[in-house]
A and B are shown apart, each in its own frame.
Chain A
């Protein structure tokens, strides 16, 4: 009855291994022969999905470290960013001419941004310091996009700023006053659910409004970004990667050959690629590259921030011991604001990528949130590297599991959502402290 937690973990893992072996046996070669050739593709899909999970889950981890509660509104904060980017990207310019409505939105942003910035100069309030410039830039980007046409960079800026602002506001208007009044952990969580519902249904209201008054459907839409498709083959021991989307535009498509002889850029005949090349081992899109670069930038940026900069060290200090941090003269409120801001901005990019990969709809962030929770718990709630590892572990479990399900019966892929959740349940039973718990045990 009374097992040590290590014994429990070992027994649990043993059971899992036995079960896995049984499943492996039971499914038989007919299934595995279909799964094995897909393994390279599974890995690269894991990369994308892991990136997307990470960008959302890292924000949950960040706010958790300073505010000490799980923010249920994080997913919806991401949706706001995704919608801001979507609207900018698709509606800032209407057939070449500036769209009157977008111009107004931009002007309101610029004006309110200027007012808040001036208010900051008067009051020195640390929230206004961030809010004013953020609104100003958001407005300016909208105006700029109205005259030059929106590109993905502008959409990204808009997504980050919109989510960051909403995230900060939720903290300043709701969570901070609540915790100043001595709200319990559960009350803070419930409050964040309140925030989540408010944001989500405000977005629903917006989609309804658009349908009703502009006759414009803005829910369950594709984001509208044309992604390039890349495919890779291994031919005679060299890796050939080609941008197959380019075949629509020209006869020759750009390609890279990576082999023993080095790296070479070439052009391939589109017709050859289409008809003579074998089944590609890998296929991926721009988004795989963008999200990977973003995650790399985040990791490097956060490492530099936390290890090298004064504010980053102050952030860690506040997370560890807010009273002591204040005793050092650190303005704890500003540091906590920063955490909410950064978490929001990352959620914005995450939301944008999710929307590009799937579709845009008000429930988007909520659907991701539950997976992100599974990631956060697996990562040990509050551990940066734990979250990082957990993102890719869960992503792999999901991609691998889906391939297996599809190999058994394509209809079963509907159970895809169950995979991360089952892993989550398993962690809860076997190792509730998550991956971070394993690490601290060793140290």
Chain B
């Protein structure tokens, strides 16, 4: 039995995007950019949480580091666009490693609490930068040099930029798929599932976690840089913790440790967002839609964790020889397990 939920939803999502494209091309381009941006961020979180079990609640902070690194380099020093992307990834990775060093060997709570604090710390720092400097403080950072400025037609330029973002998304996806299926990825999963058992393979767990958080942060930084060059303007207050949790919802809905699922989750969250934005003009509820959406994010997190913790597209179990033996020898017990899985009664 193969679970087809993922496939069906994927087709629906693709259909909706195609429908958008038929109606309004530049709106669709914008949508595609956001899909690519969030997908990269969500994939990076999946690397950290889905594969290595690291609870990074400060994702938005790393995105901000990437965005501001790229923004400042471009606006103040005129550094060329590709170099800015690289620098953004490196800067975010450095911050990620700085935080990972003391925290990844601690319990998950510490990492969670530290990362969320650091995410906010970064935003508050950015808010308090002098308004007359290139950083711009609460007024935001302006003067980022547009990429692809050799293309004169702005529409074509947008197409080129969105195209590049999509290419970078595919690059990330393939990189992480390779990772996930490599021995390294399996080590990460084993760390996530059983800290104790994987301790027996020595202090490597520490290095792997460090690596996962550093690489995850680098990708978040890259996403941030893409964001900076798309809007050519940055404001600290766009990097609110809510963004982090939006990304978490994407991973949880999609299914952890499943990159395709996470991309699907990203698309679903963004489409829900866009569709409610559109619906708001037609349907009037005694509710403020933006706040309502955030409530919905909270509710979705809870409901998914409760009723479908594996996400829409569950992680494929690694069929080790032992599992096959179990299937052969104890089919009855496996049935009990399957019964028990669905509805566990508790008073």
Query: A and B: direct contact (Cβ < 8 Å)?
Result: yes
- On A, residues with C-beta under 8 Å from B are 64, 69-70, 72, 174, 177-178, 180-181, 183-187, 189-191, 193-202, 204-205, 208-209, 212-213, 366, 370, 373-374, 376-377, 381, 414-415, 417-418, 421, 424-425, 428-429, 432
Say yes or no: is B169 at the interface (Cβ < 8 Å to chain A).
no
Question: Can you show 20 pairs from A to B with CB atoms below 8 A apart?
Answer: A69-B109, A70-B112, A177-B346, A180-B346, A186-B49, A186-B53, A187-B309, A189-B108, A190-B248, A193-B301, A194-B300, A197-B298, A198-B299, A198-B302, A199-B298, A201-B294, A202-B295, A208-B287, A432-B102, A432-B106
Contacts of B112 in A (CB 8 A): 70, 72, 186, 189
Contacts beyond the supplied A185-B109, A201-B298: 18 A-B pairs with Cβ under 8 Å: A64-B109, A70-B112, A70-B113, A178-B305, A185-B108, A189-B109, A193-B248, A194-B298, A194-B300, A198-B299, A213-B286, A414-B128, A415-B124, A415-B125, A418-B121, A428-B102, A429-B101, A432-B110
A205 near B288 with CB under 8 A, answer yes
A373–B117 contact, CB under 8 A? yes
Known contacts being A69-B109, A424-B117, is A197 close to B295, with CB within 8 Å?
A: yes
**Interchain CB contact under 8 A, B110 and A183:** no
Q: How large is the interface on B (under 10, 10 to 19, 20 to 34, 35 or more residues)?
A: 35 or more
CB–CB A421/B295 < 8 A: no
**Bound CA–CA A174/B57 (angstroms):** 20
Question: A425 contacts which chain B residues (CB < 8 A)?
Answer: 114, 118
With a cutoff of 8 Å between Cβ atoms, the chain A residues found around residue B346 in the complex are 177, 180
Chain B, residues 318-332, CB within 8 Å of chain A (1/0): the string is: 000000000000000
The answer to whether B299 touches A187 (Cβ under 8 A) is: no
Say yes or no: A190 contacts B298, CB within 8 Å: no
CB B284 to nearest CB in A, in angstroms, measures 11
Q: Are A194 and B299 touching (Cβ within 8 A)?
A: yes
List residues of chain B with CB within 8 A of the CB of A178.
Answer: 305-306
- Nearest B residue to A76, CB-CB: B298
Tell me if B338 is interfacial: C-beta within 8 Å of chain A: no
CB nearest to A200 among chain B residues: B294
Q: What is the 8 Å Cβ interface bit string for chain B, positions 94-116, against chain A (1 contact, 0 not)? A: 00000001110011111011101
* B298 interface neighbour in A184, A196, A418, Cβ under 8 Å: A196
**Contact in complex: B291, A201 (CB < 8 Å):** yes
Is B287 a contact partner of A205 (Cβ separation < 8 A)?
Answer: yes
Q: Closest approach, in angstroms, between the C-beta of B306 and any C-beta of chain A?
A: 6
Cβ A377 vs Cβ B110 within 8 A:
yes
Q: Which 4 A-B pairs have the closest CB atoms?
A: A194-B301, A197-B298, A198-B298, A201-B294
Contact B110 A198 (CB under 8 A): no
Distance of B45 from chain A, by nearest CB (Å): 11
Give CA–CA (A182, B247) in the complex, Å: 24
The residue from A183, A209, A414 contacting B305, defined by CB atoms under 8 A apart: A183
Interchain nearest-CB distance for A214 vs B (Å):
12
Which residues of chain B from 98 to 154 have a CB within 8 Å of any chain A CB?
Answer: 101-103, 106-110, 112-114, 116-118, 120-121, 124-125, 127-128
Neighbour of B286 across the interface among A185, A201, A209, A421, CB < 8 A: A209
The answer to whether the Cβ of B44 comes within 8 Å of any Cβ in the partner chain is no
Q: Which A residue's beta carbon lies closest to that of B111?
A: A186
Please name all residues of chain B whose beta carbon is closer than 8 Å to the beta carbon of A432 when the two chains form the complex.
Answer: 102-103, 106, 110
Contact between B245 and A197, CB atoms less than 8 A apart:
yes
Q: Which residue of B lies closest to A180 (CB)?
A: B346
Q: Cα distance A373–B118 when bound, in Å? A: 12
**Which residues of B have CB within 8 Å of A189?**
55, 57, 108-109, 112
Closest B residue to A170 using CB positions: B302
CB pair A381–B248 under 8 Å, yes or no, is no
Contact A377:B113 (CB < 8 A) given known A185-B107, A187-B309, A197-B301 = yes
The answer to whether A183 and B294 have CB atoms under 8 Å apart is no
